[in-house]
Amino acid sequence: MTLPFAASPAERRLLTEGRLSGPMPWVIAIMMFLTVLAAAGGLALNHAARNVTGSIAQRITIQIVEANPDLREQQTRAAMAALSAMEGVTAVNRVPDAEIEALIEPWIGGAGEEEGIPVPTMIDADLTEEAHDRLETVEEAIIAAAPAARVDDHAQFLAPLAGLIGSLTWLALALVLLTASALAASVILAVRAALNTHRGTIEVLHLMGATDIQIARLFQRRIALDALLGGTIGFLTAVIVLLLLGQRIGAVGSELLGSATLPPLAWLLLILLPIIGAVVSTLVARFTVIGVLKKML
Amino acid sequence: MAARMATTIVQFENVGLRYGTGAETLSDVSFSLDGGGFYFLTGPSGAGKTSLLKLLYLAQRPSRGLIRLFDEDVVTLPRDRLPGFRRRIGVVFQDFRLVPHLSAFDNIALPLRVAGVEEDELATPVNEMLAWVGLSDRASARPATLSGGEQQRVAIARAVIGRPEILIADEPTGNVDPEMAARLLHLFDALNKLGTTLVVATHDIHLLSRVSAAQLMRLEGGRLSDPTGALKNPPREPHMGKPRKPSA
């Protein structure tokens, strides 16, 4: 009893076999390596985009630009009170002065207020989606409470970054599709070459009454094994590269780069790639063989 | 008439075969073969013997004409029904066409495996067949290590193990010495006595006299003749239904 896609041990002997002996498993390994890297890049970028847009896309930062420190402090408190009382505002946090000084230090040094340079106060506020949709109203209420307030919408300056990440994600997906297509093309070429090599045996089998499906089973099993072996090699190599890359990114210490990590679901998808590769290769082999055999009597 | 038609298992009517755009290799070939008959097909090299056999074992479709096998029109037969017909036909190829990396046992077992016979049911018939062709001690030998005669016998064993209704042999004695040729003919005769229809293409006119019941078909220039008048079902006019002598 054999499965429709499998070949019996005796059937296997009909074609000479040698694992990792031909170029096919290595071609598949290279394709899988590139596919896993591209897919990992796409998934990590997608995760980063979700992180960035999810956490701060509905955040606004209010700057109180007032030279008089007393008035500035007064308006800061008024703006915070107005925000806290507002519907749809989930969090209001004043950015600590030390953090602001650290932010502007590269431009004006450690001087700031002592040198007579007015440094604005800053307030971060997180809004609900509904509140963010009516940002103009929120802005008017803040300015009514603090005329020196300037409201910066994070979504505005995140838009180009989100667009870039989105484009890179699509590029990664396109690369995955391209490498998958190249893999399929390699399988087709390999199957056609194998069909030519074994043409004599195939003709004899045909004349004995073998069906196309019986003959296709011999080739698809061979390709499935090559794809599984090559896919596993390519996948493991890519995982090693990804782990090393992860270490390097961690060492950079960038928040944005650091957010480009692979969540567990992404790893599961990557693990599925060699299996999907083997299944796709098997199906491509099957349909290629049947397509070629249909041209024979 | 009805009884005669019932035993006819091969029928060619005005069959022509052309490869590509060249001249016809076979022209207006008409004949019919009775089940259980023994037929020799002779003719000079290039006469079209192998082409005729290819049509018989369904490796080729004719360019024109009608071919009926086992009472079915095989010219228009859908491709997916061909395997079923091919399993009823055994073929001994001129060049044996043994699978080089398989042992004699596995080569002989091939038609049974194609037919889906389970592995544990293979050994008995294959070993019987090896014994029948005198190669029991060469079961595990690969074709490259077998002599021409041994390869020929493996090819014959492979052709008959599926108990085909028709056995077609293309120059089966072309590569063996006279003694082996006589042995092979003896094997064919034994098969014929068991009811298998035999069609043997040969150059060897000495073979013809060794099977008394054999009938002769002669091909020359792609046209079939019946020089001895031995065909029990001589070629007929396709539309008249009357017997006629084939054109030379």
Q: Which amino acid is at B90?
A: G
Residue B182 domain-assigned? yes
Tell me the pLDDT band of A154, cut-offs 50, 70 and 90: confident
Would residue A70 count as lying in a domain? Answer: yes
**Structural domain contains residue A155:** no
Contact A207 B91 (CB under 8 A): yes
- Name the most confidently modeled range: A150-164, B84-98, B212-226: B84-98
Same domain, A273 and A187: yes
pLDDT range class, residue A132, cuts 50, 70, 90 = confident
The whole-number pLDDT of residue A16 equals 64
How confident is the model over B18-46, as pLDDT tens digits? 998 888 999 999 988 989 999 999 888 88
How many separate domains does chain A show? 2
- Any B CB within 8 A of A199 CB: no
pLDDT band at A50 (very low <50, low <70, confident <90, very high): confident
CATH (domain of B174): 3.40.50.300
A210 and A258, same domain (yes or no): yes
| Structure confidence at residue B157 (pLDDT) | 92
Helix (H) or strand (E) holding A143: helix A135-145
Q: Specify the higher pLDDT residue, B210 or B26.
A: B26
- Residue B201, domain member (yes or no): yes
- Please indicate, yes or no, if residue A4 is contained in any of the structural domains: no
Among chain A residues, the shortest Cα distance to B75 is held by A297
Confidence of residue A12 (pLDDT cuts 50, 70, 90): low
Write down the pTM of the prediction.
0.71
Look at residue A269 in the predicted model and tell me its pLDDT: 92
- Does residue B113 form part of some domain? no
Residue ranges of A 257-296 with Cβ closer than 8 A to chain B: 294
Q: What pLDDT does residue A222 have?
A: 83
Reported as a pLDDT band with limits 50, 70 and 90, residue B5 is very low
Reported ipTM? 0.81
| Per-residue pLDDT at B208 exceeds 60 | yes
Q: Check whether B83 has a pLDDT greater than 70.
A: yes
CB B32, CB B217: distance < 8 Å: no
Interface with chain A: mutation pick from B56, B99, B158, highest number of A CBs within 10 Å: B99
| pLDDT at A99 (0 to 100) | 84
B109 reaches A (C-beta below 8 A): yes
- Asked whether the beta carbons of residue A209 and residue B60 sit closer than 8 angstroms, the reply is no
Q: Note whether residue B115 is domain-resident.
A: no
A41 shares its domain with A105? no
Confirm or reject contact between A12 and chain B (CB < 8 A): no
Angle between the N-to-C axes of helices B148-160 and B178-193, in degrees from 0 to 180, rounded to the nearest 10: 10
Statement: residue B53 has pLDDT above 70: yes
- State mean pLDDT over B218-247: 55
> Is there a domain that residue A58 lies in?
no
% of residues, chain A, pLDDT over 90: 24
Is the domain of A185 the same as that of A246? yes
Confidence of residue B227 (pLDDT cuts 50, 70, 90): low
Report which of B214, B219, B247 is spatially closest to residue B231, judged by C-alpha positions: B214
- Which ranges of B82-220 would DSSP assign to H, the alpha helix? 82-86, 104-114, 123-132, 148-160, 178-193, 205-208
Whether pLDDT at A112 is above 70: no
How far, in Å, CA of B40 to CA of B241, rounded?
24
Averaged confidence pLDDT in chain A: 84
Instruction: Please give the pLDDT value at position A253.
Output: 66
Q: Is B145 part of any domain?
A: no
Mean of pLDDT values over A57-83: 88
- Determine, yes or no, domain membership for B111: no
User: Does residue A192 belong to the interface with chain B, where contact is any CB pair within 8 Å?
Assistant: no
Report residue B98 CA to chain centroid gap: 16
Residue B102 contacts A, CB cutoff 8 Å: yes
Residue A44 shares a structural domain with residue A78: no
Q: Does residue A61 lie in a domain region?
A: no
Size of interface A-B (CB pairs under 8 A): 56
pLDDT at A167 over 80: yes
Statement to judge: residues A185 and A266 lie in one domain:
yes
pLDDT for A223 beyond 60: yes
Instruction: Verify whether the Cβ–Cβ distance B87 to A209 is below 8 Å.
Output: yes
Per-residue pLDDT at B207 exceeds 90? no
Residue A7 pLDDT more than 60?
Answer: no
- A 229-248 → B contacts, CB under 8 A: none
Of residues B83, B97, B99, nearest to A14 (C-beta)? B99
Which one of B85, B99, B115 has the shortest CB-CB distance to A204? Answer: B99
End position of a domain, from candidates A147, A178, A213:
A147
Check whether residue A44 and residue A170 sit in a common domain. yes
pLDDT of A4 above 60 = no
Clarify whether residues A208 and A117 are in a common domain: no
Whether the per-residue pLDDT at B239 is higher than 70: the answer is no
- Kindly give the interhelix angle for B123-132 and B104-114, rounded to the nearest 10 degrees: 130
Domain containing residue A214: 9-53+162-294
Q: Summarize chain A as % helix, strand, coil (round to 5).
A: 70, 10, 20
Looking at the structure, tell me whether residues A167 and A280 fall in a common domain: yes
B-proximal residues of A, 13-42, CB under 8 Å: 13-14, 16
Q: CB–CB of B99 and A214 under 8 A?
A: no
Question: What H or E segment, with its residue span, contains residue B31?
Answer: strand B24-34
In the sheet that holds B197-201, the strands lie side by side as B89-92, B166-170, B197-201, B38-42, B215-220, B223-225
What mean pLDDT do residues B97-125 have? Answer: 91
Residue A2 in domain: no
What pLDDT is recorded for position B84?
92
Query: In this model, does residue A29 exceed pLDDT 90?
Result: yes
Q: Work out the average pLDDT over B196-202.
A: 92
Q: Is A262 domain-assigned?
A: yes
What pLDDT shows up at residue B17? 94
Is the CB of B111 less than 8 angstroms away from the CB of A214? no
Phi, psi of A44, deg, nearest 5: -65, -40
CA distance A239 to chain B (A): 40
Number of folded domains that form chain B: 1
Residue A220 has pLDDT above 90, yes or no: no
Instruction: Indicate the residue among A96, A120, A147 that finishes a domain.
Output: A147
Compare A259 and A3 and report the one with higher pLDDT: A259
Q: Kindly determine whether residue A203 and residue B97, on different chains, have CB atoms separated by under 8 Å.
A: yes
B58 contacts in chain A (CB < 8 Å)? 207, 297
Both A280 and A170 in one domain: the answer is yes
In a domain, B117, yes or no: no
A55 band by pLDDT with thresholds 50, 70 and 90 = low
Nearest-Cα distance to chain A for B38, in Å, is 21
- Name the more confident of B89 and A24: B89
- Domain end position, chosen among A104, A120, A147: A147
The answer, yes or no, to whether residue A268 has pLDDT greater than 80, is: yes
Residues A255 and A123 in one domain: no
Cβ of B119 under 8 Å from any chain A Cβ? yes
Tell me the residue range of the domain where B48 lies.
Answer: 8-96+166-225
Q: What is the largest CA-CA distance in chain B?
A: 56
Contact B110 A294 (CB under 8 A): no
CA-nearest residue to A210 within chain B is: B114
| B-proximal residues of A, 72-111, CB under 8 Å | none
pLDDT tens for each residue of A233-265: 999 999 999 999 888 887 776 666 666 778 889
| pLDDT higher at B186 or B155 | B155
The average pLDDT across A121-129 equals: 89
In this structure, are A141 and A41 located in the same domain? no
Q: Is residue B19 part of a domain?
A: yes
